Amino acid sequence: MEDKLLDKQQRFDDEVASLDEKCNSLMKKLDDHGIYQMQHKLQETTHKFLEESATVMDEKLEKLKNDLGGCSAERIEHTLQEDLAEVEEIRRRKTNIIIHGLQEPVSSDRDSEQVQDENTVQNLLHELKSDDVSVNSITRLGRKPPGEGAKP
């Protein structure tokens, strides 16, 4: 029985050695052929990608040069100044409000009209529960309507 076990063990070892040889042979073929092909394909793909990227970048650069060709430094500076002025105007106006339909103050002098307008706006803000809002200035827009009962 011991001989049978030793015999089976020997056949098993031989089979493992044979499989190991086949596996090594396949790995060598794969290493020689597969890695070379993958490396070659990777190089080709990378080279193609770089060429395409360079072409696209060259086209974009050429277009940019053409677009900027008609622009002078003064024109660009003027455009930038206009844009900055617009941004500043938007920033300055972002807290402005316009109140439509506010009754005209009934007074003969400008100072008392201004005080009446300020009081009316403060009362309006208080009614809106916006007591934390401060008013820097009040300006009426448009012409003052003729007559006391005229529509504001």
pTM: 0.41
pLDDT, position 108: 76
As given in the structure block, the two tokens for residue 110 are 């400008």
> Tens of pLDDT along the chain (152 residues)?
677 777 777 887 888 888 888 878 877 776 666 666 766 777 888 888 888 888 888 888 888 777 776 667 777 788 889 988 999 998 888 888 888 888 888 777 888 888 888 888 888 888 888 888 888 888 888 887 777 667 76
pLDDT, position 105: 82
> 31: closest CA among 39, 42, 19?
39
Contact, 16 vs 10, CB < 8 A? no
Say how far apart CA 45 and CA 110 lie, in whole Å. Answer: 80
Say how far apart CA 62 and CA 68 lie, in whole Å. Answer: 10
pLDDT, position 20: 84
pLDDT, position 90: 87
pLDDT, position 33: 67
As given in the structure block, the two tokens for residue 124 are 């309006």
Say how far apart CA 56 and CA 60 lie, in whole Å. Answer: 6
End-to-end CA distance of the chain: 120
The full set of domain ranges for the chain reads: 1-92
Q: Where would I find the beta strands (DSSP E) of the chain?
A: none
Residue 117 burial (C-beta neighbours within 10 Å; 0-12, 13-18, 19+): buried
Contact, 98 vs 141, CB < 8 A? yes
